[in-house]
């Protein structure tokens, strides 16, 4: 029996929830579906389904086989669609992940234009400061600011953004403006990362790079929280410049220690490493590779 027919029957049974439902979905007879599943199980030497009079469920081996084969079938369908489409339009769902603040300020404003240029596209935008597992969370494209440690992914750097140390005018009127990094010992420094009372901020001086231990009364794993604290006059924060957007244009937010800061953070597009990248992912990747540098 044709191996692709066996695989198509297997996926139909999984997604339809039973043999008769799969037959209705594919237009084959229930007997043909059953024979295909039987041939597949015999060839693989495993039982893929738990069968009862009331339900059909996947075995552990069946679930593993489905998780491995479904993306392959989707990619084959995508390849067929590309070759048969006369307009080269892309369609389907793409799941994009970005950090909360950067995503809100720089990714979300670009989504309407992306959808306008690609009417068949659907976007699921996941905003979180927690770094998502791209495979487990079925992320098609991640947009990250900062270092990337993804050995099983393709990383495309598209821009960079400098670090800035800032505080509000109200805070500096009360506590004074630090003139050197060493002055930060007398200031309330708000710390990104959470569950910490101190951290080391990187600087550069005449003798090269050095770091300064800082402390504060507010820490968080959310950039948005630290940003709000700085704007409210609670303390000083160290940010990628893109996280502040228009605030640096206002007189209420003041950068400090600029001559001591040279570090930058990369803005990167990341997608899972695989032999075939769907057209919708490539289209979105190319779009953001062009559009993001114009914003940051």
The CA distance from 171 to 232, in Å, is 9
> Strand 153-168 relative to strand 264-272: parallel, antiparallel, unpaired?
antiparallel
Q: Matching CATH topology for 3-84 and 161-264? A: no
Q: What is the pTM of this model?
A: 0.70
Q: Where are the domains of the chain?
A: 3-84, 92-160+266-295, 161-264
The CA distance from 223 to 240, in Å, is 10
| Each residue's pLDDT expressed in tens, for the chain with a length of 296 residues | 588 888 989 999 998 888 988 888 888 888 999 999 999 999 999 999 998 877 889 999 999 999 888 878 877 776 666 565 544 578 889 999 999 999 999 999 999 999 999 999 999 999 998 877 787 788 899 999 988 887 778 899 999 999 999 999 999 999 999 999 999 999 999 998 865 667 899 999 999 999 999 999 999 989 999 999 999 999 999 999 998 877 777 778 999 999 999 999 999 999 887 656 788 888 999 999 999 999 88
DSSP strand E in the chain: where?
Answer: 49-51, 56-58, 92-98, 121-127, 141-145, 153-168, 189-192, 198-205, 208-215, 219-220, 236-240, 253-256, 264-272
CATH code of domain 3-84: 1.10.10.10
Distances in Å between the Cα of 48 and the Cα atoms of 61, 72, 77, 126, 241 are 6, 18, 23, 33, 52
CATH class of 161-264: alpha beta
Task: Choose which CATH entry (3.90.420.10, 3.40.190.10, 3.20.20.70, 2.40.10.10) describes domain 92-160+266-295.
Answer: 3.40.190.10
What does the block give as tokens for 165? 């140390």
pLDDT score recorded for residue 233: 95
The CA distance from 291 to 285, in Å, is 10
> Strand 141-145 relative to strand 264-272: parallel, antiparallel, unpaired?
antiparallel
The CA distance from 128 to 245, in Å, is 18
């Amino acid at each position: 029996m044709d191996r692709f027919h066996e695989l198509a029957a297997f996926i139909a049974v999984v997604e339809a929830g039973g043999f008769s439902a799969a037959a209705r979905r594919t237009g084959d007879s229930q007997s043909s579906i059953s024979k295909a599943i039987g041939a597949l199980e015999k060839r693989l030497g495993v039982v893929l389904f738990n069968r009862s009079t009331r339900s059909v469920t996947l075995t552990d081996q069946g679930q593993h086989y489905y998780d491995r084969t479904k993306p392959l079938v989707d990619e084959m369908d995508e390849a067929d669609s590309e070759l048969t489409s006369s307009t080269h339009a892309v369609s389907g769902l793409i799941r994009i992940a970005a950090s909360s603040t950067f995503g809100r300020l720089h990714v979300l404003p670009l989504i309407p234009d992306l959808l306008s240029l690609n009417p068949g596209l659907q976007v699921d935008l996941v905003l979180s400061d927690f770094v998502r597992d791209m495979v487990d969370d079925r992320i098609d494209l991640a947009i990250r600011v900062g270092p990337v440690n993804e050995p099983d992914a393709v990383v495309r750097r598209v821009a960079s953004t400098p670090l800035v140390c800032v505080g509000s005018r109200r805070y500096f009127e009360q506590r004074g403006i630090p003139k050197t990094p060493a002055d930060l010992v007398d200031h309330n420094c708000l710390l990104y990362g959470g569950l910490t009372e101190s951290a080391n901020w990187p600087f550069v001086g005449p003798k090269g790079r050095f770091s300064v231990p800082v402390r504060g009364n507010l820490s968080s794993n959310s950039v948005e929280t630290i940003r709000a604290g700085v704007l409210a006059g609670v303390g000083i924060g160290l940010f990628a410049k893109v996280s502040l957007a228009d605030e640096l244009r206002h007189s209420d937010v003041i950068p400090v220690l600029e001559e001591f800061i040279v570090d930058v953070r990369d803005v990167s597009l990341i997608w899972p490493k695989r032999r075939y990248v769907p057209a919708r992912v490539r289209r979105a990747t190319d779009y953001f590779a062009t559009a993001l540098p114009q914003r940051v």
